[in-house]
Amino acid sequence: MTVEFGTASASPGERARGYWDATTLPTGTPERLPVVVVNGSEAGPTAWLTAGVHGDEVTGVAAAQDACAALDPDSLVGCVVCLPCVNPAGLRQTERTSYYHGDDPNRHFPDPASDSSRPPRVQERIAWRLYEAFVGKGEAPRADLLVDLHTAQVGSMPFTIRDRVLYGSQRDEEAAHALADDLERLADAITLPVVTEFEAVEYTERNLQRSLAGSALNAAGIPACTVELGSRSVVEEGNRAAGVAGVCRALVAFEMLESVPEKVETAAPDVEAPVDYPVRRYVGPHAETVGIARHRVAAGDVVESGTVVADVVAPTGEHRASVTVDREGYVLARQGGVAVYENDPLASLAVRDEGELVVSRSGRE
């Protein structure tokens, strides 16, 4: 079957490139998102690959481009639909957000459980149109799995974010567990350290169920995860290679590829979690003393309760406070910048997680 999306049209055994019109700009020209379709010679599942939702997270863009280039359509079962630059307005300025209204593009995807009476602005309309595309309401086939490539803070280690699967109005608990099994298969296959998202209440408070992967998972029921590939603003070669290999490994896990291409596997670095227990994301610890941060930890360092993460010094250099962590885990990244205000976080951590992966929407059941 020929797969079409925007101007890209690929018959079985072909790769095609084109553009998809997301909206119209005030200057009268369309805002076009680049598209790559790799259509396997044999019918099978559909994988969607997205990147560049935040315009300065360019390692993800490069990894998406190179993953598509590494795939041989004759060896692929099913098809891959790739949008390597979901936020061209951000990419033009190497900025996280678009310049339409300064909105975060990754907080506007559909969430049926939180309807709003506010009319949707352009960034939300683009997100809804993209959502309708990957759930199969347009010309392209519905996703059977989705991988969204990002980057985190400066100096961050690469890792995979696994969202918690919510049940309630969208699905019952049994269906949520089945979806969680598919999600675990996807996250584990990527072979980067897996970090579960925040606990359920904080997850929805941060509106992460309206991220691209969160919406695909919890609104559409598609196994989807977010892959963080290091620092922003420049392409980091090792993390790019890890992302390309992760995408290919996901396709192998869903029986779309027989094996990872040899050149991809050889180029990918080994990245292992420094602890052997389940972890979740935590932003902290926070400083109560203002001043200038002097970090004592780096990405990948293991921390325990009482570990000093950073010192806060006065502008003239004298020590003011040492900031410690009150839990165990490891450092994903230090927070960027050194100016510390009241209650500012100093790091992004992966901390021990004893919570359930499948939770009620309220987080209280």
pLDDT in tens, 150-164: 999 989 999 999 999
C-alpha 250 chain-centroid distance: 14
Q: Which residue shows structure tokens 């969208």?
A: 170
- What are the beta bridge partners of residue 287? 344
Largest CA distance in the chain: 69
Same domain, 309 and 174: no
Q: Which residues of 243-261 are buried (b: 16+ CB within 10 A; e: fewer)?
A: bbbbbbbbbebbebbeebb
Domain at 287, CATH number: 2.40.50.100
What pLDDT, in 10s, does the model give residues 206-249?
999 999 999 999 999 999 999 999 999 999 999 999 999 999 99
C-alpha 360 chain-centroid distance: 22
Residues 6+ away with beta carbon under 8 Å from 96: 54, 55, 56, 57, 90, 104, 232
- Going from the C-alpha of 101 to that of each of 28, 98, 122, 290, 350, the distances in angstroms are 18, 7, 8, 32, 32
> Per the structure, how many domains does the chain have?
2
Same domain, 206 and 174: yes
Mean pLDDT of 273-277: 97
What pLDDT, in 10s, does the model give residues 317-343?
999 999 999 999 999 999 988 999 999
Residue 254: per-residue pLDDT: 98
Peptide bond into 84 cis (omega under 30): no
Q: Is residue 274 part of a domain?
A: no
CB atoms within 10 A of CB 288: 12
Same domain, 179 and 49: yes
pTM comes to 0.96
What pLDDT, in 10s, does the model give residues 80-138?
999 999 999 999 999 999 999 888 999 999 998 776 667 889 999 999 999 999 999 98
Residue 363: per-residue pLDDT: 53
Q: Is residue 360 part of a domain?
A: no
Mean pLDDT estimate for the chain: 95
Q: Is the pLDDT of residue 365 over 50?
A: no
Q: Is the pLDDT of residue 63 over 70?
A: yes
Same domain, 317 and 194: no
Alpha helix positions (H), 147-261:
173-190, 200-205, 212-218, 237-253
Where are the strands (E) in 56-105, listed by range?
A: 77-83
Quote the domain boundaries for residue 335. Answer: 279-352
Strands of the sheet containing 319-324, edge to edge, are 319-324, 308-313, 291-295, 339-340
Parallel/antiparallel/unpaired status of strands 159-162 and 224-228: antiparallel
Task: Give the whole-number percent of the chain exceeding pLDDT 70.
Answer: 98
Residues 6+ away with beta carbon under 8 Å from 3: 9, 10, 37, 39, 79, 81, 140, 141
Q: Is residue 362 part of a domain?
A: no
Lowest mean pLDDT among 223-227, 239-243, 285-289, 357-361: 357-361
Residue 114: per-residue pLDDT: 74
Q: Is residue 150 part of a domain?
A: yes
Q: Is residue 361 part of a domain?
A: no
Question: Which residue, 246, 267, 288, sits at the end of a domain?
Answer: 267
Q: Is residue 55 part of a domain?
A: yes
Q: Is the pLDDT of residue 13 over 70?
A: yes
Q: Give the closest residue to 9 by CA, choosing from 39, 48, 45.
A: 39
Q: Please tell me the distance from the alpha carbon of residue 313 to that of residue 311, in angstroms, as a whole number.
A: 6
Mean pLDDT of 293-318: 97
Same domain, 333 and 211: no
